[in-house]
Amino acid sequence: MFKRILVPTDGSEAATVGVRYAIALAQRRGATLLGLHVVDVKLLEGPFLRDLSASLGTAPFVNYQNNIAMLLDERGKAALRAFCELCDAAGVPCEARLATGVVPRTILENCGLADLIIMGRGGEHNQWLNGLVGSTTEAVARRSPLPVLVTGRDVPGYNRFLVAFDGSAYARQALKTAAVIAAAWEMPFHLLTVGGSAEEATLDEARRYLQAHNIEVEFVRREGDPGETIVTYAAECAADLLVMGAYGHSKVRELVMGSTTAHAINHAPCPVLLAR
């Protein structure tokens, strides 16, 4: 699984963390990486700055859009060169693409022939986010038809991973993904359910599904706030990866990040894989 991995990069330190994680994973799993840099079309809209210069009584910017477009294009090419150099040094096959558009939308438009998207937890403004996910990462994770792995760590671990399971449709998909990962990567995992009167039935459902798989699993029940409990237990069991369902239980709710998912991807001590 995950033989073609899309890795968006803006050349920032946080994005490079995602690139390095993807390279290490691709080395071990024989995957090809698809590097993508999107020139933000919003930065090419000159009318705002021309109107601003007029209101300040200054001369309008001469050839503003062409100059900015050239600079942004060169920055994108530099980011992709760095991506390809890292892949070549690691012996990982790669492709690189430069595109222009609304950044999250363009990333998703280019994910059709990929199996997974890997992104750093922040972006070019990561120093202002205190480790929280950037708006582009959040938007891609919310709308992607593919699994999205969000990481603040540049090296994968292979000791164990954690699956958060609440019995929802997205959680069931996460469980299926976890079963495939556990078998392919030969990794044990912990399955965690949090609170609720139906938690025993939820665990039983997961047990029944996993009976058909030859996988080492530890089942765990905890009480408390789901987001905080998942993050706390991920640290407690030293998970190398947290697998959980992507938020959105309806077409309306898919437009808003769920609190449990948001807390997990912002605060988990390990990379988070969101399954759909």
Domains and CATH numbers, the chain: 4-42+70-151 (3.40.50.620), 161-275 (3.40.50.620)
Of 134, 145, 133, the C-alpha closest to 268 is 133
Report the length, in residues, of the chain: 276
Q: Is 66 helix (H, G, I), strand (E, B) or coil?
A: helix
| Rounded alpha-carbon distances, angstroms, from residue 55 to 42, 48, 52, 68 | 21, 11, 5, 21
Sign of CA dihedral 29, 149, 131, 259: negative
* Radius of gyration of the chain from its Cα atoms, rounded to whole angstroms: 21
Full pLDDT tens readout for the chain, 276 residues: 899 999 999 999 999 999 999 999 999 999 999 999 999 988 776 554 455 455 545 555 555 567 778 889 999 999 999 999 999 999 999 999 999 999 999 999 999 999 999 999 864 544 434 444 678 998 999 899 999 999 999 999 999 999 999 998 999 999 999 999 999 999 999 999 998 655 788 888 999 999 989 899 999 999 999 999 999 999 999 999 999 998 644 444 444 456 788 899 999 999 999 998
Integer Cα distance of 23 and 100 in angstroms: 24
Integer Cα distance of 51 and 75 in angstroms: 26
